[in-house]
């Protein structure tokens, strides 16, 4: 790659720049942000060679553009830059839900310019350029999306590049991606938030509950302490898949609830064993 | 205390013996188990001075008896020993649900012998005497129960003793205890199990979900990898409070689900903020 533009200098954009520079994967990395302080900090952290507050100007001769803005700004930003991109340019994003973004971004691409949706599943309790590191992506999952409109050549070129970030790359449809992240990321958040709020609604019993809260409660609800805006965006932008998974989850809760109500010890045991086996298969026992 | 009998040489019973001996809180600690190997191992770990397979024989002259058997055996064991206990003896247990045990144990006590329900909220991923340690209770919550039938004198004597284990002691009614542990321990288990099983029911999408599972899913479901028998006993013995809390939890999920369905961004944000604030108040942000 000759020139890579990274738009948005937060945790993900900054870490991408640092990783690309550290591994020497492009001749030039240009960072874009509306905030000049973030750009200066990114420069000091060696996340970029050059920077600008004007995405249109710097995208003109880019080979690859990463759109790393907050999720609600991804499509508007892509529409802003699309008309100046030169043929052969690949545009990708880092949004945590994909169906809607990919569909709108594909429609916004001019002839000969390619969009491939992306989602690096890396994060940190901290956010912003200050938290950026060249190790953020190491060993994490990175998803690229493929649709009937995706250019096979552009996908292969981007996939080859992404793999150099030392990530575990998966390629799947936007719909499959959205259901998967709803299941393993957005639903756990919905559940953790609901667990905490169920206790919040207890009234005078609340205090004795909280005093006794131990490691089980702490871990089960950890994600409820995450960034509120990010959580809100997950639920808003991935609505369809999140609602589908909440429906599945509620059926699963009601199945267990029924077996407890009936005092059906063998069914309770079966549900516990099934969950333990499946989880132990993933993480080891 | 002259003589303390600990019945059941598992993780809790063994750790109790080790802590009492280490802190020199009794002239003599006698351990009881049906398994002679466990007793020998407990002896080697300095969890007891003497041991027996016969609870009736050794309880005759006990000042304090800890019943640390599996939860389903607690009341039968108390009924087995009750007739031989001498006046002034205090009996306590370590079961994780209290209403039913306390009510039946109180009824089984002869004149002048006192029952006070207990629940040390300490645990480990490991179980059995091999996992026992004299540090198990340090800084953990320990609950003693009080009912209209509880002797104030016996409760005070036991509370003074338990505080020497370096625990955070709370005294509350069995009903308040059961609701609290349902909220902060049994409900998180029900939720973690249901989260895993909801993905287990996904069919062909299951594999892509599991491949992407990250730290959020791992932590939110951690307790689903715990001991199956212990989980089953929580749901069976604490049925009433667990069902009440599952009901509260379901309303909390449905409230969030509705706001996602409606695309009500300010309500979604409010639910996330409320949960984050309450959790951060407990654990720090």
Chain-centroid distance, C-alpha A115: 17
List of chain A residues whose C-beta atoms are within 8 Å of the C-beta of residue B176: 205, 208
How high is the pLDDT of residue B126? 76
Quick check: B41 and B130 in contact, CB under 8 A?
Answer: yes
Burial of B19: CB neighbours in 10 Å, binned 0-12, 13-18, 19+: buried
* B184/B278 same-domain check: yes
pLDDT tens per residue across span B56-106: 999 999 999 999 998 889 999 999 999 999 999 999 999 989 999 999 999
**CATH classification at residue A29:** 3.40.50.720
Q: Is B131 on the interface with A (CB under 8 A)?
A: no
- Residue B178 has phi, psi (to 5 degrees) of -65, -40
pLDDT tens per residue across span B132-164: 999 999 999 999 999 999 999 999 999 999 999
**Among all residues of chain A, which has the CA nearest to that of B120?**
A212
* A64/A141 same-domain check: yes
Residue B215 pLDDT level (bands cut at 50, 70, 90): confident
| Nearest-by-Cβ selection for B278 from A196, A212, A278 | A196
pLDDT tens per residue across span B12-37: 999 999 999 999 999 999 999 999 99
Cβ-defined contact of A184 to B253 (cutoff 8 Å): no
| Domain end point (choices A117, A140, A172) | A172
Q: What order of strands is seen across the sheet that includes strand B141-145?
A: B118-120, B141-145, B168-172
What secondary structure letter does DSSP report for B150? S
Q: Is B260 on the interface with A (CB under 8 A)?
A: yes
Beta-strand ranges (E) seen in chain B are: 3-7, 28-32, 50-52, 64-67, 90-93, 114-116, 118-120, 141-145, 168-172
How high is the pLDDT of residue A133? 96
Residue B219 pLDDT level (bands cut at 50, 70, 90): very high
* B36/B160 same-domain check: yes
How high is the pLDDT of residue A124? 67
- Is A125's pLDDT higher than 70? no
How high is the pLDDT of residue B127? 82
pLDDT tens per residue across span A87-106: 999 999 999 899 999 999 99
Percent above pLDDT 90 for chain B: 86
* A160/A230 same-domain check: no
List of chain B residues whose C-beta atoms are within 8 Å of the C-beta of residue A274: 196-197, 200
| Domain end point (choices B172, B207, B238) | B172
Quick check: B113 and B82 in contact, CB under 8 A?
Answer: yes
Report d(CA B250, CA A119) in Å as an integer: 31
Mean pLDDT of A157-168: 97
Q: Is B163 on the interface with A (CB under 8 A)?
A: no
Q: Is B83 on the interface with A (CB under 8 A)?
A: no
Report d(CA A199, CA B249) in Å as an integer: 8
Mean pLDDT of B176-190: 94
* B15/B147 same-domain check: yes
Quick check: A141 and B210 in contact, CB under 8 A?
Answer: no
Give chain B's domain count.
Answer: 2
Return the structure tokens found at B127: 């179980």
**Among all residues of chain B, which has the CA nearest to that of A220?**
B220
Q: Is A198 on the interface with B (CB under 8 A)?
A: yes
Residue A112 pLDDT level (bands cut at 50, 70, 90): very high
* B31/B140 same-domain check: yes
Quick check: A186 and A245 in contact, CB under 8 A?
Answer: yes
The predicted model scores a pTM of: 0.83
Cβ-defined contact of A225 to B268 (cutoff 8 Å): no
- Is A144's pLDDT higher than 70? yes
Q: Is B184 on the interface with A (CB under 8 A)?
A: yes
Quick check: B172 and B146 in contact, CB under 8 A?
Answer: yes
* B134/B233 same-domain check: no
Q: Is A217 on the interface with B (CB under 8 A)?
A: yes
pLDDT tens per residue across span A13-55: 999 999 999 999 999 999 999 999 999 999 999 999 999 999 9
Q: Is A43 on the interface with B (CB under 8 A)?
A: no
Q: Is B239 on the interface with A (CB under 8 A)?
A: yes
List of chain B residues whose C-beta atoms are within 8 Å of the C-beta of residue A194: 249, 252-253, 255-256, 275
* B96/B56 same-domain check: yes
- Is A86's pLDDT higher than 90? yes
Burial of A98: CB neighbours in 10 Å, binned 0-12, 13-18, 19+: buried
Burial of A222: CB neighbours in 10 Å, binned 0-12, 13-18, 19+: buried
Q: How does strand B141-145 pair with strand B118-120?
A: antiparallel
**CATH classification at residue B236:** 1.10.3660.10
Mean pLDDT of A239-257: 97
| Domain end point (choices B157, B172, B187) | B172
* A38/A131 same-domain check: yes
- Is B165's pLDDT higher than 80? yes
Q: Is B199 on the interface with A (CB under 8 A)?
A: yes
Cβ-defined contact of B185 to A217 (cutoff 8 Å): yes
**Among all residues of chain B, which has the CA nearest to that of A180?**
B209
For residue A143, the surrounding DSSP H or E stretch is strand A141-145
* B184/B168 same-domain check: no
Q: How does strand B90-93 pair with strand B64-67?
A: parallel
Q: Is B194 on the interface with A (CB under 8 A)?
A: yes
**Among all residues of chain B, which has the CA nearest to that of A239?**
B260
* B34/B84 same-domain check: yes
Give residues 132 to 151 of A whose Cβ lies within 8 Å of B. 140-141, 143
* Residue span of the structural domain in which B163 resides: 3-172
Cβ-defined contact of B225 to A180 (cutoff 8 Å): no
Range with top average pLDDT, A152-161, A273-282, B125-134: A152-161
Residue A179 pLDDT level (bands cut at 50, 70, 90): very high
Report d(CA A245, CA A181) in Å as an integer: 10
* A88/A214 same-domain check: no
What angle is formed at CA B30 by the lines to CA B29 and CA B32, rounded to 5 degrees?
A: 145
């Amino acid at each position: 790659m000759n020139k890579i533009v990274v738009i948005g200098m937060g945790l993900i954009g900054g870490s991408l720049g640092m990783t690309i520079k550290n591994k020497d994967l492009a001749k030039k990395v240009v960072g874009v942000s509306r905030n000049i302080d973030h750009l200066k900090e990114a420069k000091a952290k060696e996340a970029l060679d050059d920077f600008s507050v004007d995405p249109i100007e710097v995208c003109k001769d880019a080979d690859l553009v990463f759109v790393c803005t907050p999720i609600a700004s991804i499509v508007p930003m892509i529409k802003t830059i699309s008309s100046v991109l030169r043929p052969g340019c690949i545009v990708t994003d880092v949004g945590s839900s994909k169906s809607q973004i990919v569909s709108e971004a594909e429609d916004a691409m001019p002839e000969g310019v390619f969009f491939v949706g992306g989602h690096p599943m890396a994060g940190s309790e901290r956010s912003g350029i200050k938290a950026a590191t060249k190790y953020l992506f190491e060993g994490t999952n990175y998803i690229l999306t493929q649709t009937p409109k995706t250019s096979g050549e552009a996908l292969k070129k981007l996939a080859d590049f992404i793999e150099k970030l030392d990530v575990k790359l998966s390629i799947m449809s936007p719909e499959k991606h959205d259901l998967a992240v709803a299941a393993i990321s957005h639903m756990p958040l919905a559940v953790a938030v609901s667990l905490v709020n169920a206790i919040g609604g207890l009234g005078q019993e609340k205090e004795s509950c909280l005093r006794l809260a131990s490691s089980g409660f702490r871990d089960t609800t950890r994600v409820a302490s995450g960034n509120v805006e990010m959580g809100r965006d997950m639920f808003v932008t991935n609505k369809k898949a999140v609602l589908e998974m909440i429906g599945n989850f509620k059926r699963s809760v009601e199945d267990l609830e029924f077996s407890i109500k009936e005092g059906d010890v063998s069914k309770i045991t079966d549900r516990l064993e099934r969950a333990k086996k499946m989880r132990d298969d993933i993480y080891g026992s």
